[in-house]
Amino acid sequence: MTKSEQDRNISSSFAKGLAVLAVFDAATPSMTLAEIARRTNQDRATARRGALTLVQAGYLRQQGRMLSLTPRVLALAGGFLQANQFGRRVQPVLNQHARRLQTELSLAILDQGRVLLLAQSTTERGPVTYGFTAGAHIPLVHTSLGRMLMACLPQEEAAALLDGSKIPRHTEHSILDQDEILQQITEARSKGYCITDSEFEPGIIGYAVPLSRPGKTPVVLGSSAPGGLTADHKAEELLQGLQVCAAELRQTHAVEDL
């Protein structure tokens, strides 16, 4: 099928409606139509039609001039999670290893130049919590999850992704030089793990290991810990724990076809 034939099979209106849903996040939980139009690069009339259609369908609510997501959007994610049996095959494994390591564990993939959290452990206690949930996006460049995801790509693809990414300064320790970041990605690919130190949050060290097999959609597993707890033996313990958890998750085959 040629590109022109593919284009004829695509509903641009539907795609624009999906773009409206995607602009809401923790920083902007509610927006006006003008803000939605600006963030989606749509004209005001198109954004209005898409947003009001989603209001009628129950995925957005309107209060005065402001629009926001409704809980119904969770049903879209729920279908994916149930189809891949995350509740039965992934969540129990994450919880078990999180209890043993006494820290939160996160499963993540790439999504349009950002890290998308697929699942997180639920533990009674853990030294670090950012309040992120499944479905949340976190930065790509300065997190261990993001760098490990880029390390799962061929070098030229990782370089192109990095070249198109913003490199903000989250902390005074955030690496801003693109060549240095690419070198960190190369080292993570070689070592089979990634560690970032205080680049996203001050005093927090991030750890990540690959979960997906070569040639598959990149999926990684990660954790964080306060710097004061991360002596060499603690870092080694966390990395080993992540690798054991990743190996067990591979055996479930739950993430092979993502």
Identify the CATH number of the domain in which residue 45 sits. Answer: 1.10.10.10
Q: Is 257 among the domain residues?
A: no
User: pLDDT confidence of 63, banded at 50, 70, 90?
Assistant: very high
Does residue 125 share a domain with residue 146? yes
CATH number at residue 226: 3.30.450.40
The pLDDT of residue 125 is: 55
CA–chain centroid gap for 135, Å, is 7
Joined tokens for residue 76: 């879209």
Nearest to 246 by CA among 215, 221, 214, 217: 221
Residues 58 and 99 in one domain: no
Q: Are residues 194 and 95 in the same domain?
A: yes
CB atoms within 10 A of CB 206: 26
189-248 per-position pLDDT tens digit? 999 999 999 999 998 999 999 999 888 899 999 998 887 654 566 788 899 999 999 999
Mean pLDDT of 26-51: 93
Judge contact between 47 and 217, C-beta under 8 A: no
pLDDT for 1 = 47
Q: Give how many domains the chain has, as a whole number.
A: 2
Residue 258 lies in a domain: no
In percent, the amount of the chain with pLDDT more than 90 equals: 62
Q: What average pLDDT is seen over the chain?
A: 88
* The pair of three-digit structure tokens given for residue 217, joined into one six-digit string: 């959609």
Residues 60 and 70: their CA atoms lie apart, in Å, by 5
Is there a single domain that holds both residue 246 and residue 146? yes
Statement to judge: residues 184 and 108 lie in one domain: yes
Examine the fold and report which residue of 51, 69, 87 is the final residue of a domain before the chain moves on. 69
Q: Name which of 211, 37, 246, 220 is nearest 138 in CA terms.
A: 220
Q: Residue 123: what pLDDT?
A: 64
CA 193 to centroid of chain Cα atoms: 17
Residue 9: the pLDDT is: 65
Q: Which of 215, 219, 225 is nearest to 249 (CA)?
A: 219
Residues 84-137: pLDDT tens digits? 788 889 999 999 999 999 899 999 999 988 899 999 997 655 544 556 788 888
Looking at the fold, whether 119 and 134 belong to one and the same domain comes out as: yes
In this prediction, residue 56 carries a pLDDT of 95
Alpha helices (H) in the chain, listed in sequence order: 3-8, 12-22, 33-40, 44-57, 73-83, 91-101, 144-151, 155-163, 178-191, 232-252
**b/e per residue, 76-95, with b = 16+ CB within 10 A?**
eeeeebeebebeeebbebbe
Both 34 and 151 in one domain: the answer is no
Whether residues 221 and 144 fall in one domain: yes
Specify the pLDDT at position 225.
86
Angle between helix axes 155-163 and 178-191 (nearest 10 degrees) is 150
Same domain as 143, residue 24: no
Answer yes or no: are the C-beta atoms of 104 and 98 closer than 8 Å.
yes
Higher pLDDT pick, 81 / 10: 81
C-alpha–C-alpha distance, residues 88 and 253, integer Å: 12
User: According to the model, what pLDDT value does residue 215 have?
Assistant: 82
User: Domain of 104?
Assistant: 75-252
Strands 219-226 and 60-63: unpaired
- Average pLDDT of 51-57? 94
Q: Mark whether 87 and 19 lie in a shared domain.
A: no
User: Is there a single domain that holds both residue 118 and residue 18?
Assistant: no
